[in-house]
Structure 1
Amino acid sequence: MAAPFDHTDKSSWYFGQMSRQDATDLLMEEKEGGVFLVRDSISIHGDYVLCVREDSKVSHYIINKIQQNEQIKYRIGDQMFDDIPKLLAFYKLHYLDTTPLIRPAPRKIEKVIAKYDFKGSDQDDLPFRKGDVLVIVSKDEDQWWTAKNCLGQTGSIPVPYVQKYDGNESIPDSTVQLPETHSPSGSQAEPARRPNVQRKLPAMAKVKQARVPNAYDKTALKLEVGEIIKVTKMNINGQWEGELKGKTGHFPFTHVEFIDSES
């Protein structure tokens, strides 16, 4: 009989950017085998890793994102799936090494407290006031995380505006001394904005920086300065997807600029 967890509930099993060691430490705290999580691959952008507690160890299974004609497939070992939920459903019923998948790992609740006011400038931002306590939902980028406030509202927050909160911290007056570079509104200068994911796609962009991808990364595009690429998807992690010279693949958004000046 299949395990009771919902393999279609991505929020329960997808942990995003997470180091191998952090995943191992989290899963080693579990007593039973079959507890798992899915994280981003550190070595290959676009790939994933299925981390599973098995006996007295944690196994890390690479999930390769494969482009087949016009379709994306996900490969683990010699098995191929249309998407990750179908992969997880399969391993509810089949053993990996020593166990099938039983349940996702529990998430540790991580809280931060605001050091400054943040009004927000994007519709995806989560405004807050100094002293507000927020729950971290995901760490999408180094400088921008997704968080939830006490009202259950979710959005993006700038990391330099907050600090770790364990329940006893307060924000001393010295903390709110503004750095030399600050905005006219009286709060800390925002970190560099993440790409505008609201732009209408597909859109044409010009390559401004050459890139030769890792030979093992079959889904990455090779870029030459001046080439025109059709951007088809803008992921918040900065790895965009597009079409160039008849090939579909991913590339860093920092290497291109849109041809038209859409505001």
Structure 2
Amino acid sequence: MSRQDATDLLMGEKEGGVFLVRDSISIQGDYVLCVREDSKVSHYIINRIQQNEQTKYRIGDQVFNDLPSLLAFYKLHYLDTTPLIRPAPRKVETVIAKYDFDGSDQDDLPFRKGDILTIISKDEDQWWTARNVQGQTGSIPVPYVQKFDSQQGITCVTQSLREGHSPTTGHIEPAKRTNVQRKLPAYARVKQGRVPNAYDKTALKLEVGDIIKVTKMNINGQWEGELNGKVGHFPFTHVEFVDSENNDGIDDS
């Protein structure tokens, strides 16, 4: 869960002291304690440290043997304006398939129109990780599904599916992941604008038509490159490579 996702979730709670613990994005292995305090959400870093072959957890100047001990301590002591009152409810998001999807990669999760899937993580703009009712997990194309609200009833879902287009009549194909080994660095043109989260200092701001010098293609879909003198990462779904024969106007310097 990102910092912004945690903030949005906790700001939806009405009382202070509601909390959750998420993985740290900036330091692998560390955690972040996120707490609703007054009219804001505070994020406290929890460092995982090794002491005499033992793993301990440090928050501020306090050190604990494990996370349950840390949480128990702050249920009795204030962080800033409140102790920990209760954990935030886990938000479960489900989607329903609009079309059949057979999958083409071993990491894909095939499904049929009408299947209900639970979202595990939103890894990319066009590809998410989901779980089906059999407990199988894998990648699914976002344009093939839509949000499913069980409170709206099956009737509404069935009606929306009947009104939907079939895969052969103009639905939006997802930008398919590519395994092409392209010689880097290479140039790519931005086809979809993006304003990154204010807390993500390493993300590049994209404007349609920008030319990015791609330096690394990560399998998680977050590529790395250089744009306007800044080095950072960006979703591969927002760009398309500029073929060498079409490099008119690109300065290789």
Please classify the TM superposition score into its range, dividing by the shorter chain length.
0.5 to 0.7
Deviation at 1:205, TM superposition (A): 2.1
Deviation at 1:148, TM superposition (A): 0.4
Alignment equivalent of 2:104, drawn from 121, 126, 140: 121
Deviation at 1:173, TM superposition (A): 5.6
Q: Residue in 1 aligned with 2:91? A: 108
Task: Please report the TM-score for the alignment, with normalisation by the length of structure 2.
Answer: 0.55
Task: Note the 1:153-168 alignment, pairs <5 A.
Answer: 153-157=136-140, 158-166=142-150, 168=153
- Residues 47-87 of structure 1, C-alpha deviation per residue, up to 9 Å, x if partnerless? x9863134x554244x9xxxxxxxxxxxx7xx9999xxxxx
Counterpart amino acid of residue 146 in structure 1: T
Deviation at 1:164, TM superposition (A): 0.8
Deviation at 1:116, TM superposition (A): 2.9
**1 CA distance for matches of 2:143 and 2:4?**
15
Q: Does 2:223 match 1:233?
A: no
Q: Residue in 2 aligned with 1:249? A: 232
Alignment equivalent of 2:11, drawn from 5, 20, 24: 24
Q: Residue in 2 aligned with 1:73? A: none
Task: Please report the TM-score for the alignment, with normalisation by the length of structure 1.
Answer: 0.53
Alignment equivalent of 1:176, drawn from 125, 147, 162: 162
Deviation at 1:174, TM superposition (A): 6.1
CA contact (8 A) 2:19 2:33 kept: no
Alignment equivalent of 1:192, drawn from 154, 167, 174: 174
Decide whether aligned partners of structure 1 residues 16 and 151 sit closer, same or farther in structure 2, where only a CA change above 3 A counts. farther
CA contact (8 A) 1:34 1:99 kept: no
Q: Does 2:36 match 1:53?
A: yes
SS at match of 1:150: coil
SS at match of 1:152: coil
SS at match of 2:12: helix
How many residue pairs end up in the alignment? 209
- Residues 131-181 of structure 1, C-alpha deviation per residue, up to 9 Å, x if partnerless? 3222221234455432101221112223443341417424436623443xx
**2 CA distance for matches of 1:21 and 1:192?**
27
**2 CA distance for matches of 1:60 and 1:134?**
32
SS at match of 2:58: helix
Q: Does 2:16 match 1:35?
A: no
Higher relative contact order (CA 8 A, sep 6+): 1
**1 CA distance for matches of 2:58 and 2:177?**
35
**2 CA distance for matches of 1:128 and 1:141?**
19
Q: Does 2:130 match 1:147?
A: yes
Q: Does 2:187 match 1:206?
A: yes
Deviation at 1:22, TM superposition (A): 3.4
* Paired-residue identity, %: 43
Q: Residue in 1 aligned with 2:57? A: 89
Decide whether aligned partners of structure 1 residues 37 and 209 sit closer, same or farther in structure 2, where only a CA change above 3 A counts. same
CA contact (8 A) 2:19 2:36 kept: yes
Alignment equivalent of 2:121, drawn from 125, 133, 138: 138
RMSD value, Cα:
5.1
CA contact (8 A) 1:133 1:165 kept: no
Decide whether aligned partners of structure 1 residues 139 and 241 sit closer, same or farther in structure 2, where only a CA change above 3 A counts. same
CA contact (8 A) 1:17 1:40 kept: no
Where structure 1 has 5 or more consecutive residues not aligned to the other structure, the ranges are 1-13, 42-47, 64-75, 83-87
CA contact (8 A) 1:233 1:242 kept: no
Where structure 2 has 5 or more consecutive residues not aligned to the other structure, the ranges are 26-30, 50-55, 64-77, 245-253
